[in-house]
Chains A and B, each alone.
Chain A
Amino acid sequence: MSTSRIFDIAGPRQQRRVRIATTVSLVALVLVGLVVAEKLYYEAQFVSEKWLVFYDLDFIRFLLAGLWVTLQVCAVSLVTSALFGILLALGRLSSVAVFRIPAIGVIEFFRAMPFLLIVFAVMFGLPSVGVSMPAYWQLVVAITVNAGAMFAEVFRAGILAIPRGQREAGLATGLPSRHVFTSVVFPQAVRNTTPALMSQAVRVIKESSLGYIVGVAELLNNARVVSEFTGNFIQAYLAAGVLFVVINTTVSYLGARWADRLESS
């Protein structure tokens, strides 16, 4: 971070102040921790049976099975959202109004809708017009619609960021314009947008937790089952939370690494 150039480098007095603030805040944090721990202890949350889900292999296996479904849902949804997103992006970039205007409408509309409303529309709205499908696909469709609109904007930005000159150079070498797109523009757009796509992937992983509502046995839904089975709400959801955070930080980290590589190349 560039704060060192925004603020003065700490002199001895400032360093002493920072040390004092560190100590004071550490003490405060420890105190808060103790109060929380005391409360948890008092409420008998530290009894080892409460933390079953963290060490009982059956529960762990059950949560991991949920995680596996989460990853499957996400993998499928990422592919469908990417396809839908590319379609929308191409539509929006098209010079033909018949493609462009509906694409803009779809993108802007779904970006403005809460994800749960889309989920409800798929669950309760579609069946009444005769479209019904298994829960798994309801979740995938809802994610696709929502994430597709996001992906479309990412792709569009990626395509627009490619210098005109490269496109023209491609055309100048005699490639037909469709080939210029697939062999020159598109690969670069994907390369440059990967970090943004990674953060959209984190979003998709979080959205897949609405399997809880739709009734897909993914990670959060399985955590609910565990919580109801054991009566240990905090521990069950914490365990799921840990898994979500691990997966998502890994994906974010990879995205950030990719962004660094892009910047240095």
Chain B
Amino acid sequence: MMTNMSERSPSQGAVIELKDVEKSFGATKVLTGVNLSIAKGETVVILGPSGSGKSTLLRTTNRLEPIDSGEIWYHGKPIPREGRELAAYRAEVGMVFQQFNLYPHKTAVQNITLAPVKRGKQKPEEARARALRLLADVNLSEHANKRPGALSGGQQQRVAIARAMAMDPEVILFDEPTSALDPEMIQEVVHVMKRLSADGMTMAVVTHEIGFARESADRIVFMDEGRIIEESDPESFFTNPRTERAQEFLGKILNH
């Protein structure tokens, strides 16, 4: 395993693979020697204390942040650095944000159809029909023509997930999708994510929802101070964390 990881070539079957990724903001080192590979159909949950670099890890994966050194591969090829190629790559990697980030001037349907139509992936009517089906999947049929301002946080986040799905992405990155939600809305979003995971979507999820991690994760990745310091299956991570930092972290979030 270790020898395989240090070789500078993509491993077989990985959708996304990060290799020795380093990233600093000015003088602060945020990612240090990060290696991670996500296989097709896998749900990887990323845990770690605040400031450990989880968001940055996801953001570098679709190049919202460029990296200083190392490599990121998508299906065995380095991800594009700019231009149309980068846009095309991002179209295959969905992203769901903590703050939903819907377009405030567009309705739920328009939020979903914008990228597919503008990328020429679907015709407008086709995209609309698809969007309505996606909204039905997340139980929002009756809100299709509302603007984000008229939707609750949980509803907005479900629209955001539908928006990510509309591009038929190979993988979806979730950055704390439930952290900005009121407690009673968390479950509606978690429910959608669990179903996606069960349907075989490839997902990388930063979350503090231990229930989701236990049930849906194929693998837990634990980060601390910009490094991945523990990687294991959920069962052993939650019952028997190896590192002290992970024990501390679990102690904190399980007791609160």
Contact = CB atoms under 8 A, between A and B. Distances in A.
Given a CB threshold of 8 Å, the question of whether A touches B is answered with yes
A11 B66 CA distance: 9
Nearest to B80: A11
Nearest to B83: A13
Nearest to B87: A8
Interface string A191-211: 000000000000000000000
B147 interface: no
A79 to B, nearest CB: 45
Contacts of A10: 82
A1 interface: no
A9 interface: yes
Contacts of B82: 8, 10-14
Interface residues of A, number: 7
A13 B63 CA distance: 16
A9 B66 contact: yes
A153 B66 CA distance: 45
Contacts of B83: 11, 13-14
Contacts, number: 18
Contacts of B5: none
B86 interface: yes
A9 B86 CA distance: 12
Interface string A30-73: 00000000000000000000000000000000000000000000
B68 to A, nearest CB: 12
A8 B89 CA distance: 14
A201 to B, nearest CB: 36
B102 to A, nearest CB: 17
Chain B, interface residues (CB within 8 Å), range: under 10
Contacts of A13: 81-83
Contact of A12 (B63, B65, B81, B86): B81
Interface in B47-84: 63, 65-66, 81-83
Most buried by A among B63, B65, B81, B86: B81
Contacts of A9: 65-66
Nearest to B66: A9
Nearest to B82: A11
B78 to A, nearest CB: 12
A11 B80 CA distance: 9
Interface in B230-249: none
A6 to B, nearest CB: 11
Contacts of A8: 63, 82, 86
A256 to B, nearest CB: 23
A18 to B, nearest CB: 12
A199 B208 CA distance: 48
A11 B83 CA distance: 8
A164 to B, nearest CB: 28
A147 to B, nearest CB: 38
A9 B83 CA distance: 11
Contacts of B66: 9, 11
A202 B40 CA distance: 62
A13 B83 CA distance: 8
A171 to B, nearest CB: 37
Most buried by A among B65, B82, B86: B82
A4 B66 CA distance: 11
A9 B68 CA distance: 12
A12 B83 CA distance: 10
A7 to B, nearest CB: 10
Nearest to B65: A9
B254 to A, nearest CB: 35
Contacts of B81: 11-13
Given A11-B83, A12-B82, 16 more contacts: A8-B63, A8-B82, A8-B86, A9-B65, A9-B66, A10-B82, A11-B66, A11-B81, A11-B82, A11-B86, A12-B81, A13-B81, A13-B82, A13-B83, A14-B82, A14-B83
Leading 3 A-B pairs by shortest Cβ distance: A11-B82, A11-B81, A9-B66
18 contacts: A8-B63, A8-B82, A8-B86, A9-B65, A9-B66, A10-B82, A11-B66, A11-B81, A11-B82, A11-B83, A11-B86, A12-B81, A12-B82, A13-B81, A13-B82, A13-B83, A14-B82, A14-B83
